[in-house]
């Protein structure tokens, strides 16, 4: 009988139990499909035993470790929502997410508990806390408890979903919630269709994930790889030389990056870059943040026409994608719609003509809501029912989308809208610069003026002369109103591990 729910570890555990579902690159741990199937079932039994039913919530707060994906697959077949939490958040931010998502179970690790310790007293007593690793008295040992559970499926399996939180780059993070499908686990899904069709994920895929699994793209792409019968290779953290070595050593076919990773790869010494055979790679995709055009051109020159790009949010209300040849014909574009229909609208939500800049909306995309925030959900939807993530962009005659910036990052100086991405792209191309942020700071006459904050490459020294050089570099390519009037230097910029710049934290230091 044909299995209508083949996209799950069980399918491949039956065909080839010893085939590898994923590898933890830092430790060398290899998890077969049979092991993943058994451990996911044990986790599902434990969640049921803890009183969780369909539609309930769990939270996962841990570093990239073997158990992370096992827990996600357990939740995925239990009909529960699983919220993965950034390990870089403060105890207060963790407590906020736990309370907001209504988690009934928190699964963390011994390594995280030190930073979490201050939060535990503020967690509702009804939240059951499980620990992977050294388990303090009064908390539950995840490994010991799951080891006591059956390795067979729970009798009432149901499809679960992630409910991930926005990165909070523009305000308090919000949980992005999709309706649970009324189905058994392992059926076709929008993500399986998109990634297999666009990027060729299949049973031969060897996917490298160099980013934290708590973030939407690494988690979803890793799980789709496994659902398709491929193998995911999970780095514990991004290191440019290590990533190149893993591509060569494991004959990686697919990989996912963010532009800051490209910058760090390109700034390796040429002799280091030339050491590695990367010919196994069929597809390298980037997303999550704007990629400067010069950086992308250099990556294409190095890796060839395998660079793909997509634009989407955790919300998945729409999705665009673009191949290398398309991008070379439409430089700077993030592609055409592959999910939903794109509309560019003015501030009143009315559609603008082709070529005009406005807010990017999607029609007929995936339906979502912001958990516990009906006002934000309503604000993301216009009168036609189209939804937006708050990004600014324009369409060309062929339907290719060009993003300008986040709506919330627009600098308004003397009544003129300035999009800081242009200046950031130029600064990132400077040979002394490793990272850059451009934003508005107070100006008595114009309301705001343009400020740049820059992180230099190791060995480069900050100086007034270098600040002037960077400003001149921008003025050589942009009108002066778009250019920084001043440059500050920092040892590091506040970015998430997935490359999102926390610009609001920088801005807050300059505004009274």
- pLDDT tens, residue by residue, 18-38: 999 999 999 999 999 999 999
β-pairing, 128-132 vs 140-141, is parallel
Q: Which of 272-276, 382-386, 487-491 has the lowest mean pLDDT?
A: 382-386
What pLDDT, on a 0 to 100 scale, did the predictor assign at position 365? 85
Please tell me whether residues 363 and 476 are part of one structural domain: no
Note whether residue 301 is domain-resident.
Answer: no
How far is the C-alpha of 164 from the C-alpha of 314, rounded, in Å?
7
- Domain containing 140 — which CATH number? 3.40.50.980
Nearest to 146 by CA among 40, 53, 35, 10: 40
| Token pair 């003397």 in the structure block, residue | 414
How far is the C-alpha of 230 from the C-alpha of 223, rounded, in Å?
10
* Residues 195-251 pLDDT 10s: 999 999 999 999 999 999 998 999 999 999 999 999 999 999 999 999 999 999 999
**pLDDT-derived band of residue 477, with 50, 70 and 90 as boundaries?**
confident
How far is the C-alpha of 162 from the C-alpha of 221, rounded, in Å?
13
Q: How many residues does the chain have?
A: 512
Q: Is the pLDDT at 120 greater than 80, yes or no? A: no
Burial-class residue 476 by CB neighbours within 10 Å (0-12, 13-18, 19+).
Answer: exposed
**pLDDT-derived band of residue 89, with 50, 70 and 90 as boundaries?**
confident
What pLDDT, on a 0 to 100 scale, did the predictor assign at position 126? 87
How far is the C-alpha of 72 from the C-alpha of 58, rounded, in Å?
10
H or E element that contains 472: helix 464-475
Please tell me whether residues 371 and 439 are part of one structural domain: no
Q: Is the pLDDT at 121 greater than 90, yes or no? A: no
How far is the C-alpha of 103 from the C-alpha of 124, rounded, in Å?
9
92 vs 140, which has greater pLDDT? Answer: 140
Q: What is the mean pLDDT of residues 441-460?
A: 90
Contact 473, 428 (CB under 8 A): no
Please tell me whether residues 364 and 452 are part of one structural domain: no
**In the listed set 133, 167, 185, which residue is the last one of a domain according to the structure?**
185
- Domain containing 426 — which CATH number? 3.30.300.30
Note whether residue 13 is domain-resident.
Answer: no
What pLDDT, on a 0 to 100 scale, did the predictor assign at position 168? 55
The domain containing residue 395 runs over which residues? 315-408
166 vs 181, which has greater pLDDT? Answer: 181
How far is the C-alpha of 93 from the C-alpha of 179, rounded, in Å?
25
Please tell me whether residues 142 and 173 are part of one structural domain: yes
What is the Cα 146 distance to its own chain's centre?
A: 29
**In the listed set 375, 408, 441, which residue is the last one of a domain according to the structure?**
408
Please tell me whether residues 332 and 400 are part of one structural domain: yes
Please tell me whether residues 90 and 127 are part of one structural domain: yes
**In the listed set 408, 430, 455, which residue is the last one of a domain according to the structure?**
408
Please tell me whether residues 502 and 382 are part of one structural domain: no
| Token pair 């989308």 in the structure block, residue | 401
- Domain containing 345 — which CATH number? 2.30.38.10
Note whether residue 368 is domain-resident.
Answer: yes
Average pLDDT, the chain: 92
Burial-class residue 201 by CB neighbours within 10 Å (0-12, 13-18, 19+).
Answer: buried
Q: Which of 70-74, 180-184, 239-243, 502-506 has the lowest mean pLDDT?
A: 502-506
* Residues 102-112 pLDDT 10s: 999 999 999 99
- pLDDT above 70: percentage of residues in the chain: 96
Note whether residue 6 is domain-resident.
Answer: no
Note whether residue 4 is domain-resident.
Answer: no
- pLDDT above 90: percentage of residues in the chain: 74
Please tell me whether residues 460 and 357 are part of one structural domain: no
**pLDDT-derived band of residue 289, with 50, 70 and 90 as boundaries?**
confident
Note whether residue 293 is domain-resident.
Answer: no
* Residues 310-360 pLDDT 10s: 999 889 999 999 999 999 999 999 999 999 999 999 888 889 999 999 999
**pLDDT-derived band of residue 86, with 50, 70 and 90 as boundaries?**
confident
Q: What is the mean pLDDT of residues 138-146?
A: 96
Note whether residue 177 is domain-resident.
Answer: yes
Note whether residue 198 is domain-resident.
Answer: no
Q: Is the pLDDT at 1 greater than 50, yes or no? A: no
Please tell me whether residues 82 and 138 are part of one structural domain: yes
Q: How many domains does the chain have?
A: 3
Please tell me whether residues 347 and 466 are part of one structural domain: no
Please tell me whether residues 46 and 95 are part of one structural domain: yes
What pLDDT, on a 0 to 100 scale, did the predictor assign at position 153? 98
Please tell me whether residues 78 and 67 are part of one structural domain: yes
What pLDDT, on a 0 to 100 scale, did the predictor assign at position 354? 97
Q: What is the DSSP string of 269-311?
A: -HHHHTT---TT-SEEEE-SS---HHHHHHHHHHH-TTEEEEE
């Amino acid at each position: 009988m044909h299995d209508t729910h083949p996209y799950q570890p069980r399918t491949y555990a039956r065909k080839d139990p010893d085939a590898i579902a994923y590898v933890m690159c830092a430790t060398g741990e290899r998890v077969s499909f049979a092991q993943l199937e058994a451990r996911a079932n044990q986790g599902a039994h434990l969640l049921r035993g803890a009183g969780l039913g369909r539609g309930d919530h769990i939270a996962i707060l841990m570093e990239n470790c073997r158990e992370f994906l096992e827990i996600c697959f357990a939740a995925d077949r239990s009909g529960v929502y699983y919220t993965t939490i950034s390990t870089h958040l403060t105890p207060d931010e963790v407590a906020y997410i736990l309370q907001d998502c209504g988690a009934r179970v928190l699964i963390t690790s011994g390594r995280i508990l030190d930073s979490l310790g201050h939060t535990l007293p503020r967690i509702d007593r009804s939240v059951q806390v499980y620990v992977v690793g050294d388990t303090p008295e009064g908390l539950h040992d995840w490994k010991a408890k799951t080891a006591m559970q059956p390795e067979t499926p729970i009798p009432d399996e149901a499809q679960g979903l992630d409910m991930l939180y926005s990165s909070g780059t523009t305000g308090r993070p919000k949980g992005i919630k999709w309706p649970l499908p009324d189905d058994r686990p392992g059926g076709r899904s929008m993500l399986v269709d998109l990634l297999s069709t666009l990027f060729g994920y299949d049973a031969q895929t060897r996917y490298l994930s160099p980013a934290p699994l708590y973030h939407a793209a690494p988690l979803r792409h890793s799980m789709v790889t496994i659902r398709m019968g491929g193998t995911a290779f999970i780095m514990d953290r991004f290191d440019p030389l290590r990533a190149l070595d893993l591509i060569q050593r494991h004959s990686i076919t697919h990989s996912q990056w963010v532009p800051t990773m490209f910058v760090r790869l390109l700034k390796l010494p040429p002799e280091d870059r030339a050491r590695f055979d990367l010919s196994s790679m069929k597809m390298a995709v980037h997303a999550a943040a704007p990629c400067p055009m010069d950086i992308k051109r250099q990556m294409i020159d190095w890796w060839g026409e395998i660079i793909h790009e997509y634009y989407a949010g955790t919300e998945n209300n729409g999705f665009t994608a673009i191949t290398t040849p398309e991008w070379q014909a439409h430089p700077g574009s993030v592609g055409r719609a592959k999910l939903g229909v794109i509309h560019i609208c003015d501030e009143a939500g009315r559609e603008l003509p082709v070529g005009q800049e406005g807010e990017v909306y999607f029609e007929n995309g995936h339906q979502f809501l912001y958990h516990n925030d009906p006002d934000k959900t309503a604000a993301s939807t216009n009168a036609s029912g189209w939804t937006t993530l708050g990004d600014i962009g324009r369409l060309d005659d062929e339907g290719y989308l060009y993003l300008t910036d986040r709506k919330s990052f627009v600098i308004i100086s003397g009544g003129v809208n300035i999009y800081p991405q242009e200046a950031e792209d130029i600064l990132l191309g400077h040979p002394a610069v490793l990272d850059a942020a451009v934003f508005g700071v107070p100006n008595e006459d114009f309301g705001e003026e343009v400020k740049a904050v820059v992180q230099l490459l190791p060995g480069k020294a900050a100086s007034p002369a270098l600040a002037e050089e960077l400003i001149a570099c921008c003025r050589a390519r942009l009108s002066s109103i778009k250019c920084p009037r001043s440059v500050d230097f920092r040892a590091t910029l506040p970015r998430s591990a997935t490359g999102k710049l926390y610009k609001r934290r920088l801005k807050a230091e300059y505004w009274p």
